[in-house]
Chains A and B, each alone.
Chain A
Amino acid sequence: MLKINNLSFKVDTDGADKEILTDISLEIPDGKLFVITGPNGGGKSTLAKLIAGIEKPSAGQILFNGEDITGLSITERARKGIAFAFQQPVRFKGIRVEDLIRLAAGKELSLTEACAYLSQVGLCAKDYIHREVNASLSGGELKRIEIASVLARKSMLTLFDEPEAGIDLWSFNNLIDVFRAQREEISNRSILIISHQERILNIADEIIVLENGRLVQQGEKEKVLPGLIGTPSAVSKCQGVRS
């Protein structure tokens, strides 16, 4: 279980503090799928980065399975079972797709096992497994490889930052299946997805709305989603997704 107590995050802009997140408290129980939505610039990605340890909070506390992890590094949090899929995946010269998946798995994998993760995200494994994770890959290919690397982690808490951004319609459909399969694979795994997409919001157990750095709404999908439809917090059809 992830528990966040009174979390705030400030940045220094031209000598003045700017508050990006203010006093956020929430709980994500085991086995639940939460989606965070809200207008752009509302602090969604920052919250995910604070959970993964990529940013440090200015105040507040993060507990994971009862342990205070606020002071732990990215590496330590990863080893405790937190995985993070980047909104804009990183490119590496020379590191191959198979290397990235093996590093993510944290153990030796057979080629067949590594390929299975690529197949899950709809990539023809034999075309990609030996390729470098470099600029020769398109944004959509890179995004799917990013998601495959996170699947290989088999973590207890997985954070996806706008997983649909930059991918085509086919893989978007596939993505929904990926999230479902993630839940089935480990029954008490929690998933936190940042997304505006109505179809992703639709598979959530609970929805959190962040606006101007504040948690303005949280509740079961059935209660929250109807009020969001038609606003930028719940984009329908394929806006933002390339068809």
Chain B
Amino acid sequence: MELNEIQLDLLKEIADLSGVPTGAYNIRSNSQSIGRQSSANIEIVPKETVSGIDIFIKPNTKNETVHIPVVMTESGLKEKVYNDFYIGDNADVEIVAGCGINNCGAHDSQHDGIHRFYVGKNSRVRYAEKHYGSGDGSGKRILNPVTEVYMEDGSYCEMEMVQIKGVDDTVRTTVAELKDGAKLVVRERLMTHGDQRAESVYTVSLNGKGSSADIVSRGVARDDSFQRLDLKIAGNAECKGHTECDSIIMDNGKILAVPALEANNVDASLVHEAAIGKIAGEQLVKLMTLGLTEAEAEEQIINGFLR
């Protein structure tokens, strides 16, 4: 498999890869799988009726990784891709996804990735997904990821979802359902600039006794961009849920945070925190007393916040 410079650049941005990954992988470029490898415990099978792949992870698979990055470099491509992860019981795996679009043309490029995770009993999954856009064409770079997580008893899932730069329009939908003792941790980072729009909608149902969720979304809206964050947790059993939206607003940015907590059980304990504000003047002043210019100070503060 040969990768060109733009593909390599996108892979580096979204998956921190400097070439073909080790372990199981599927690399998708311009709607084609350009490289695929299964391992002894992880099998990747293309879907037959729709675009996408099924990933089967055997029970008890430990310390293995799956990379499924997507890159798009042709202007005007639009695709909807279904990737389903079937994770056996007692597994411990890392899954790295992500999509990079380079659009130098006049037509919109769009990738809608629907990822479904079926996490087996007592399994642990770490999932990282980065979205990135580049290219100076007038065509938009559009990403609408849907993430569904179905967690069995005692499972643990940690998701890092990041969109830092260059995505013009996004609607991110995350749905999770947790059984007894399952735990979901989400760290989302969103930065919008120019006239970008980003919406992120979470619906987390804590259905099992002792289940818990901790969802933290940090965002920075610069220039004329817009962000909407809908974070909803429903507590349907004895459970613990925490959501937090923490946003920095700059220039003419607009941010709408819509927290929602729904307690349907007397033993549900749910907390929401939300804060939106500009960069604190004292933070800028402190960094300027260290010799940074105001613009450099701003950059450091944002980079730290979105780390």
Q: Using a CB–CB distance below 8 Å, which chain A residues touch chain B? A: 52, 54, 73-75, 78-79, 83-84, 86, 89-90, 92-96, 99-100, 103-104, 106, 132, 149, 153
Contact = CB atoms under 8 A, between A and B. Distances in A.
B292 interface: yes
A54 B285 CA distance: 7
A74 B218 CA distance: 29
Interface residues of B, number: 22
Given A75-B294, A90-B283, A83 B289 contact: yes
Contacts of A79: 291
Given A103-B300, A106-B290, A92 B283 contact: yes
22 contacts: A52-B289, A54-B285, A73-B288, A74-B289, A75-B293, A75-B294, A78-B289, A83-B289, A90-B282, A90-B283, A90-B285, A92-B283, A94-B305, A94-B306, A95-B301, A96-B304, A99-B300, A103-B290, A103-B292, A104-B290, A149-B290, A153-B290
Contacts of A93: 218, 246, 304-305
A89 B285 CA distance: 11
Given A93-B304, A95-B304, A99-B304, A106 B285 contact: no
B286 interface: yes
Contacts of A104: 290
A87 B291 CA distance: 19
A75 B307 contact: no
B50 interface: no
Nearest to B307: A94
Interface string B36-53: 000000000000000000
B146 interface: no
A160 B305 CA distance: 27
Interface string B258-294: 0000000000000000000000101101111111111
Nearest to A95: B304
Nearest to A88: B282
A153 B288 CA distance: 12
B280 to A, nearest CB: 7
Given A90-B285, A95-B304, A153-B290, 8 more contacts: A78-B288, A92-B304, A93-B304, A95-B301, A99-B300, A99-B304, A100-B290, A103-B292
Nearest to A100: B290
Given A90-B282, A90-B283, A93-B246, A54 B289 contact: yes
B302 to A, nearest CB: 9
Contact of B289 (A84, A95, A96): A84
B205 to A, nearest CB: 29
A188 to B, nearest CB: 20
Nearest to B285: A54
A104 B289 CA distance: 9
A103 B286 CA distance: 11
Which 10 residue pairs of A and B lie closest in terms of their CB atoms, listed nearest first? A94-B304, A95-B304, A78-B291, A74-B288, A90-B286, A94-B305, A84-B289, A94-B307, A104-B290, A75-B288
A83 B285 CA distance: 12
A90 B286 CA distance: 7
A15 to B, nearest CB: 24
The winner among A74, A92, A93, A95 for most chain B CB atoms within 10 A is: A74
Contacts of B280: 90
Contacts of B283: 90, 92
Interface in B62-85: none
A207 B80 CA distance: 73
B217 to A, nearest CB: 13
A42 to B, nearest CB: 22
Contacts of B291: 75, 78-79, 106, 153
Contacts of B218: 93
Contacts of A106: 290-291
Nearest to A93: B305
A141 B290 CA distance: 19
Interface string B100-120: 000000000000000000000
B304 A74 contact: no
A104 B218 CA distance: 26
